Chains A and B, each alone.
Chain A
Amino acid sequence: METTLLQLKTGKKAKIIKLEGGMEFRRRLATLNIREEKIIKKITSQPLRGPITIEIDGRRVSLGYGMAMKIIVEEEK
């Protein structure tokens, strides 16, 4: 089932399906190897629309609430 990174439950793994943003957004994410087809894990999210922390390739990355909204993922079973 497709959902956004924002809605993905903490602790779940998911595959990135689509990045819904412009070139600059995609370029910025790509510098930390966040691309389509990559498997990520949601580690935690901060309260009050704070940043989301994910794990990708064994590394942690924090990204803003609005960015997480634009990352479409599919939960891994």
Chain B
Amino acid sequence: MKILLMGNPNVGKSAFFSRLTGVNVVISNYPGTTVEFKQGKMKCGGKLADVIDVPGVYSLEAASKAEEVAVKMLKEGDVVINIVDATNLERNLYLTMQLLEKNIPVIIALNFWDEARHKGIKIDIEKLERELNVPVVPTVALTGEGIKELVSKIRYACPHKCRGCEKSRWNRVGGVINEVQRIEEKEHTVFETFEDLSIKPLTGIPVAVIILALSFLAVRIIGEGLIGFIFEPLFDLYLPVLGWIGNYLGTGIVHDIVIGTFIEGKIDYGQSMGLLSTGLYVPIAMVLPYVFAFYLVLGILEDSGYLPRLATLVDKLMHKVGMHGLAIIPMMLGLGCNVPGALGLRILETKRQRFIAATLMAIAVPCMAQTAMVFGLLGKYGIEGLGILYLTLFAVWAVLGLILNKTMKGTTPETFMEIPPYRVPYFKGLMKKLGMRIHSFLREAVPFVLLGVLIINILYVTGIIHFLGETASPLVVGMLGLPEEAVGALVMGFLRKDIAVGMLLPLGLSMKQLIIASAVLTMYFPCIATFVVLFKELGWKDLVKASVIMIFVSFFVGGILNLVL
């Protein structure tokens, strides 16, 4: 049996899904589209059933990609659990009316039942059941209230002829609302007062600055804590194992590729460049902790409902660079890892927006891996070195965005989005999301780092790096003012930026050179993993265009930095 979870966005569908299903959750793309959905299993009437979390939609009019997919999935489902926000019954019932017209069994979960009560909204469940002719169960997905009852009633859901289908949907909704809902005015809660503060420009902008500053502080503290207390001690324990493997391999090329070269007589995780030393240390001990911290904080921001407010505040700025406010979300995702950032571009409606966003992200949004390594390189120079680098990146982001927006055909559609009320994130759902993101980071990142280290070692041993260095040296040495050895790092950057920056460490560069190298590395090409995703999302034509822009801009900016610093 296939059970579909359907409802408007922000009705607690994900929390519901987490409640219903166990651990085996799969995220996949609907065939032939870029729309993602989650699938899991649950027990229903003693049998295992598939549960599908259909993308949240406001209607079934197939006007957007998500709606198209929802309509297609509906044809494959056996029963629909329609999750309805009890605090916003009228608007939610529009989708319900459309579902009822489709002649598929429907059961309604009246979610946020507790919140509706607090808000003074009274809904007569029995009357609603009679009006709609389907089972209705009040639920609170956050605490699990009502979920068992809902599951036990799934079998009572049956298809039926809808009443008064000849009347327009909104008229029917209005009729039902008049029958079943009574609203008493209640005082504003603390959350509601904060809702006003965080969206009015005068107070909203300072609030945004504080929230973002606290978020990045939290990411740093959690990330550093994990590295210092968990990952570094773990890798210290791992060191003797490496030594043992090293002894077994003896000296020579194989040793240098697998374990790496010794720095001052011992293995140095940052610089030895062995598959099993640096190749594992960089993604796991240096980057993963920050990725974990970043997605934890981002998940809280997402689930609390803050991000659409931020999107409203920055909407004007984002329009200037050819996107609308919601594009701030993939951009922020990109600060964690550009791969989910690139996938997140799907929320932008037009191809033009996606192209601009993808190009800007690949060039000027440093992922956690890059940030971690840039801090490693420039951290010792404090705010000066880091400040110049990040200001440069932001300037590139803004100027390039302006140029692309002015030169590309078409316009950006206007913003139109719901601002959901603030809600306390559901812990289990938060953890599930974090787990899935970490899992996909490890799946994407670790193999590529290992492959990257392997390739670079082979290139090094065979002398190809040296050859490339000589070929590219006029550009790298002349234009960017970097030593010839830095070319190897730039080549590495095609595979993994984090490692590439790590390769610059032993070269003894000056602050100026380090800033230029970090800037060029961050900008000229996204990592291979991002590149592959961008290929899928944009198609090869746009990707070639974006790549040309990337390489040109990075050398141009690097050259300017070399002149002015």
- Listed in ascending order, the chain A residues whose CB lies under 8 Å from chain B are 24, 27-33, 35, 43-44, 46-51, 53, 57-67
The listed residue (B199, B201, B418) touching A47 by CB distance below 8 A is: B201
Which residues of A have CB within 8 Å of B315? 46, 50-51, 62, 64
For B58, give its contact among A24, A31, A35 (CB under 8 Å).
A31
Residues 301 to 320 of chain B near chain A (Cβ within 8 Å): 308, 311-313, 315-316
**Which residues of chain A have C-beta atoms less than 8 A from B421's C-beta?**
59-60
The answer to whether B416 touches A64 (Cβ under 8 A) is: yes
Do B313 and A59 have beta carbons less than 8 Å apart? Answer: no
Interchain residue pairs with CB less than 8 A apart (12): A31-B59, A33-B170, A43-B200, A46-B313, A50-B316, A51-B316, A60-B199, A61-B416, A62-B325, A62-B419, A63-B415, A64-B315
Taking a contact as CB atoms under 8 Å apart, the answer to whether B316 and A59 are in contact is no
In the assembled complex, B61 has its CB within 8 A of some CB on chain A: yes
Q: Is the CB of B90 within 8 A of A27?
A: no
| In the complex, B119 has a CB within 8 A of chain A | yes
Determine if A51 and B325 form an interchain contact, defined as CB atoms under 8 angstroms apart.
yes
Q: Decide if B416 touches A33 in the complex (CB within 8 Å).
A: no
Q: Mark B409-425, 1 if CB is under 8 A from A, else 0.
A: 00000111111010000
Do A58 and B58 have beta carbons less than 8 Å apart? no
Q: Which of B87, B170, B417 contacts A61 (CB 8 A)?
A: B417
Q: Are A43 and B201 in contact (CB under 8 A)?
A: no
Q: Is the CB of A61 within 8 A of B419?
A: yes
A58 and B88 contact, CB distance less than 8 A = yes
Say whether B199 contacts A27, CB under 8 Å: no
B residues in contact with A62, CB < 8 Å? 308, 311-312, 315, 325, 415-417, 419
Q: Which residues from A are CB-within-8-Å of B200?
A: 43-44
Chain B residues at the A interface, C-beta cutoff of 8 Å: 58-59, 61, 63, 87-88, 90-91, 94, 119, 170, 195-196, 199-201, 308, 311-313, 315-316, 324-325, 414-419, 421
A-side contacts of B63, CB under 8 Å: 24, 27-28
Is the Cβ of B414 less than 8 Å from the Cβ of A66? yes
- The residue of chain B having its C-beta at the shortest distance from the C-beta of A68 within the complex is B414
Q: Does A33 contact B91, Cβ atoms closer than 8 Å? A: yes
Q: Is B119 in contact with A33, judged by CB distance below 8 angstroms?
A: no
Q: Which of A35, A43, A50 contacts B196 (CB 8 A)?
A: A43
Q: CA A53 – CA B195 in complex, angstroms?
A: 11
Query: With A27-B61, A53-B312 as given contacts, are A67 and B88 in contact (CB-CB < 8 Å)?
Result: no
Q: Which residues of B contact A28 (CB under 8 A)?
A: 63, 416
Complex formed: what's the CA distance from A53 to B414 in Å? Answer: 13
Report B23 CB to chain A, min CB distance, Å. Answer: 34
Kindly identify which residue among A33, A60, A64 contacts B90, using a CB–CB cutoff of 8 Å.
A33
Smallest CB gap from B320: residue in A: A48
Contact (Cβ within 8 A) A60 B418: yes
A63 with B199: in contact, given A33-B90, A49-B316, A51-B325 (CB under 8 Å)? no
Choose from A35, A46, A48, A67 the contact partner of B416 (Cβ within 8 Å).
A67
The docked-state distance in angstroms from the alpha carbon of A66 to that of B61 is 24
Given contacts A32-B91, A60-B199, contact A48 B316 (CB under 8 A): yes
Q: In the complex the two chains form, what is the Cα distance from A53 to B313 in whole Å? A: 10
Q: Which B residues are CB-close (under 8 A) to A60?
A: 195, 199, 418-419, 421
State the Cβ distance, B274 to closest chain A Cβ, in Å: 52
In whole angstroms, how far apart are the Cα atoms of A53 and B315 in the complex?
A: 12
Bound-state Cα–Cα, A59 to B87, Å: 9
Are A63 and B201 neighbours in the complex by a CB distance under 8 Å? no
CB-nearest residue of chain B relative to A50? B316
> Does A64 contact B415, Cβ atoms closer than 8 Å?
yes
Closest 9 CB pairs of A and B: A64-B414, A60-B419, A31-B58, A50-B316, A33-B91, A62-B312, A44-B200, A51-B315, A64-B415
Contact B418 A59 (CB under 8 A): yes
- A32 partner, pick from B58, B87, B201, beta carbons under 8 A: B58
